[in-house]
Amino acid sequence: MRPDQPIREQALAWAMLTREPDFADWDGFTAWLEADAEHADAYDAVQFALDEADAALDIMPETEFTLAANDNPPKGWMTTRRAWLGGAIAASLVLALSFIFGFGPQGETLYATAPGETRLIALDDGSTVELGGGSRLAVLDDRAARLEGGQALFTIRHDAADPFVLTAGADRLVDAGTVFDVRLAGKALDLAVAEGAVIVNPEAQALRVDAGERAVRTGERYWVGPIDPQAVGEWTRGRISFEAASLAEIAAELTRATGIVFTAAPSDIRLAGSIALDQVRADPRALEALLGVRVTPRGKGWVIAAE
Amino acid sequence: MAPTAPIEQAYLANRTRLLRFLRARGAGDAAEDLVQELWLRLAAAPDPVAASGIGYMMRAADRLMIDRYRAERQGSLRDRAWSEAQPGLTDNIAPAPDATRIIAARQHVALIEQALTEVGDRAAAMFRRHRIDGVTQRQLADEFGVSLSTVESDLRCAYSKIVAVRGMIDEA
């Protein structure tokens, strides 16, 4: 912070810093505030102005905002960028639809669902897989499958001589008489077991996850904790739960489950809660009361923000 | 163990630091009351683990003071109707935009758009990506192929105009 800058500019520089989700220099900020009583007043005025601008931009429907941008050339760069993004989303939807039932290499059967869609897959041996929205599953044969992304609830007929093996990301999950739910988001794996048990990576960690337990992989670490067996696979009954989830994770899960496009405003908060999807489908603003967040329409989707 | 225990410990361990911050933020004699109000907010946080972090607590203290400033302004502003039509930051449920708010927002956004034409295409585009699309400063540097300090400088120009727009509205 250059001391020769006018106070308002210093206040603006600090406001920009504290608005970043990873801001950590609270001691430096405190020292600047303590240097002069006028600093706090200037900072408040700047934050207020920025909040007001955010609020105005938030309640403006996107189309009107881009129209305003076009009234004042040069044309907003955002306009073209958004159009491109919209095209990319549409293209990926088409791709998902065309892959709902296809045959991959080595006779695999590929199943893919669009966001908001679920699909029940019956295997020949009587086992079933319920595939969640925005998910991709490759079925190799009755006893082997690969989850490429998204979420699926497996109800597997147990055969000790020929266990069912699921590959999810870098992990191999081997059933031991089982109803279990798997969610794969990027490299993060979340496994919850309702009945029986699942062995994670029998050749490596050989982590046994029993009924009523949940295993979460983040990076190279596995965390095992309790879960209500009744809550396992509750998304198939129209409900999803979060624990210490970021807004981005919540937005991605909701998009996948409902087919309504949610995005997250930058925030470092983490939330816990349980959401009835019917309510969210009927009115995305229902999230505000359920999670204590702000939900605002933007374009064809919704933005979830903290507070 | 009560679920609030870790957050209570974290709050008590940092209470002095939070008090000092609130005083520096202009809380004055009200600092003791405000730190208590801060505790109520922290205790009600949906995720106690996240709320136990010092960054979260300091940010909540900062927000508390910003909300207080807003509340004080609302009593004294000439354009009272405009202010009251804004969703309170302490309200979790934002009311649906009514006609007055939409008109006021349209005017405000038009002024912001006008102001952004004065900072150049790159700074204006960065502002939109940052505030509207939520792209981080580091990502902006990559996207626009410029240094982080250039991003900061461009954004500061844009933000400065946004703050000036608010000043124009207050004077109108």
pLDDT for res A113: 85
- Residues within 8 A of A (CB atoms), B 93-132 only: 93-94, 97, 101-102, 104-106, 108-110, 112-114, 117, 121, 124-125, 128-129, 131-132
Q: Is the pLDDT of residue A44 over 80?
A: yes
Quickly tell me which residue has 């009755």 as its tokens: A142
Does the distance separating the beta carbons of B21 and A49 come in below 8 Å?
A: no
* A59 contacts chain B (CB < 8 A): yes
Q: Is the pLDDT of residue A68 over 60?
A: no
Q: Which helix (H) or strand (E) holds B63?
A: helix B54-76
Global confidence as pTM = 0.46
Q: Render pLDDT for B138-172 as a digit per residue (tens, 0 to 9).
A: 888 988 889 989 998 999 899 898 888 887 777 66
Does the distance separating the beta carbons of A37 and B166 come in below 8 Å?
A: no
Closest CA to A40 of B160, B89, B24, B16: B24
pLDDT for res A239: 84
Q: How many CA atoms lie within 13 A of B138 on its CB side?
A: 3
pLDDT for res B39: 92
pLDDT for res A177: 66
Number of residues assigned to chain A: 307
- Label residue A296 by pLDDT band (50, 70, 90): very high
**Average pLDDT, integer, range B117-140:** 84
Closest CA to B57 of B2, B5, B93, B12: B12
For chain B, the domains span 5-76, 82-171
Q: Is the pLDDT of residue B32 over 70?
A: yes
d(CA A121, CA A131): 7
Cβ pairs A/B, distance under 8 A: 165
Contact A250, A277 (CB under 8 A): no
- Residues within 8 A of A (CB atoms), B 140-169 only: 152, 155-156, 159-160, 162-163, 165-167
pLDDT for res A25: 93
Q: Render pLDDT for B58-104 as a digit per residue (tens, 0 to 9).
A: 999 999 999 899 888 866 544 444 434 443 333 333 444 555 566 67
Compare CB distances from A78 to B112, B128, B165 and report the shortest one's residue: B128
Task: Please state which of the ranges A29-38, A82-91, A132-141 shows the lowest mean pLDDT.
Answer: A82-91
Q: Render pLDDT for A252-267 as a digit per residue (tens, 0 to 9).
A: 889 888 889 899 988 8
Pick the more confident residue, A1 or B114: B114
Pick the more confident residue, B24 or A2: B24
**Average pLDDT, integer, range B1-6:** 58
Does the distance separating the beta carbons of A292 and B46 come in below 8 Å?
A: yes
R_g over Cα of chain B = 19
d(CA A106, CA A146): 13
**Average pLDDT, integer, range B98-119:** 75
- Give which of B42, B83, B112, B159 to mutate to test A binding, by max A Cβ within 10 Å: B159
- Label residue A106 by pLDDT band (50, 70, 90): low
pLDDT for res B75: 61
What letter represents residue A63's amino acid? Answer: T
Q: How far is CA A191 from CA A5, A182, A226, A250, in A?
A: 54, 5, 11, 17
Structure tokens at A40: 């706090």
Quickly tell me which residue has 């939070």 as its tokens: B18
pLDDT for res A107: 67
Closest CA to A112 of A135, A132, A128, A130: A135
Please state the φ and ψ torsions of residue B119, each to the nearest 5 degrees.
-100, 0
Q: How many CA atoms lie within 13 A of B166 on its CB side?
A: 20
Structure tokens at A242: 């979060």
Quickly tell me which residue has 């699926």 as its tokens: A152
Q: Is the pLDDT of residue A26 over 90?
A: yes
Could you give the 3-state DSSP secondary structure of residue B170? helix
Per-residue HEC secondary structure of B49-61 comes to HHHCCHHHHHHHH
Give the torsion through C-alpha atoms of A59, B102, B67, B24, to 10 deg.
90
Quickly tell me which residue has 């150049």 as its tokens: B120
Compare CB distances from B102 to A20, A47, A59 and report the shortest one's residue: A59
pLDDT for res A302: 93
CATH of domain B82-171: 1.10.10.10
Q: Residue B161: its chain A contacts at CB < 8 A?
A: none
ipTM of the complex: 0.81
Q: Which helix (H) or strand (E) holds A54?
A: helix A37-59
d(CA B94, CA A293): 9
Contact A207, A177 (CB under 8 A): no
Does the distance separating the beta carbons of B134 and A266 come in below 8 Å?
A: yes
Contact A114, A96 (CB under 8 A): yes
Greatest Cα pair distance, chain B, in angstroms, is 58
